[in-house]
């Protein structure tokens, strides 16, 4: 009896070619159904930030369950002469943000058209494929015409890094789900309610850029 491949007019080499094409098709299908990652509703991330060679360690506390987000930014220049020290960037879902320096007791309040990022803020992002970076195989996403590019690890879906179009880079050193600060650490200090200061450079960080990610709320 002739092999089935010959009975339908295929050569003996055709099955391997067919298998290769089938595997390629399956890969494209799997890639097409990859969904953007969704953040947990509460987490603590330790980030390494590079903003035009101004390096910083950032403790990001995200708590969507109560509508608040905190970036505690410790710059390499915090101990320089004239520095105001570490910067607390506290954001609320009522569209208010406070940027203050506990050491200098200076504060700026800003209002935004949206609240904090939703857990699914990457919804409708453009998928760029898989890339090996920082020692991980990552899905790569971009949103808002390249304003931000985001890498999440293929097997765990944990973020590895994100880079803004401005060039600011943030690398995820630790990702701890369900960890947050006690309520007392979220309280805005009294000196923030005395007088609003103008938008200005704070330790080399322009306040108008610190919370641009909030505009990605779907």
Please write the tens of the pLDDT for every residue from 31-88. 458 999 999 999 999 999 999 989 999 999 999 999 999 999 999 999 999 999 999 9
Q: Report pLDDT for 202.
A: 44
Q: What angle do CA 106, 179, 208 make, to 5 degrees?
A: 35
Q: Nearest CA to 172 among 89, 55, 59, 69?
A: 59
Q: Report pLDDT for 26.
A: 47
Q: Nearest CA to 148 among 112, 122, 171, 119?
A: 122
Q: Report pLDDT for 211.
A: 45
Residue with tokens 């960890």: 179
Q: Nearest CA to 110 among 93, 91, 84?
A: 91
Q: What are phi and psi of 9, to 5 degrees?
A: 90, 15
Q: Report pLDDT for 33.
A: 83
- Percent of the chain residues topping a pLDDT of 90: 71
3-state DSSP assignment of residue 125: coil
- Give the C-alpha separation, 83 to 76, whole Å: 10
Q: Nearest CA to 206 among 119, 99, 125?
A: 99
Q: Nearest CA to 107 among 131, 128, 90?
A: 90
Q: Report pLDDT for 16.
A: 54
Q: Report pLDDT for 218.
A: 39
Report, as ranges of residue numbers, the positions in the chain whose pLDDT lies below 70.
1-32, 195-218
Q: Report pLDDT for 121.
A: 96
Which H or E run contains 21?
helix 14-32
Q: Report pLDDT for 149.
A: 98
């Amino acid at each position: 009896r002739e092999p089935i491949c010959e009975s339908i007019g295929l050569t003996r080499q055709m099955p391997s070619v067919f298998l290769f094409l089938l595997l390629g098709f399956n890969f494209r299908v799997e890639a097409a159904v990859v969904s953007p990652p969704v953040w947990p509703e509460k987490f603590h991330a330790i980030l390494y930030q590079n903003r035009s060679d101004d390096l910083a360690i950032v403790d990001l506390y995200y708590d969507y369950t109560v509508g608040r987000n905190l970036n505690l930014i410790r710059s390499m220049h915090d101990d320089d002469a004239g520095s105001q020290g570490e910067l607390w960037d506290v954001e609320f879902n009522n569209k208010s943000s406070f940027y203050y320096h506990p050491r200098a007791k200076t504060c700026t309040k800003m209002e935004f058209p949206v609240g904090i990022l939703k857990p699914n803020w990457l919804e409708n992002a453009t998928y760029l494929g898989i890339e090996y970076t920082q020692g991980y195989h990552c899905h790569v996403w971009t949103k808002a015409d390249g304003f931000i590019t985001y890498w999440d690890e293929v097997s765990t879906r944990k973020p590895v890094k994100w880079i803004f179009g401005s060039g600011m880079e943030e690398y995820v050193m630790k990702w701890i789900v369900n960890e947050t600060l006690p309520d007392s650490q979220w309280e805005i200090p009294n000196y923030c309610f005395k007088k609003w200061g103008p938008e200005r450079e704070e330790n080399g960080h322009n306040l108008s850029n610190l919370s641009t990610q909030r505009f990605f709320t779907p």
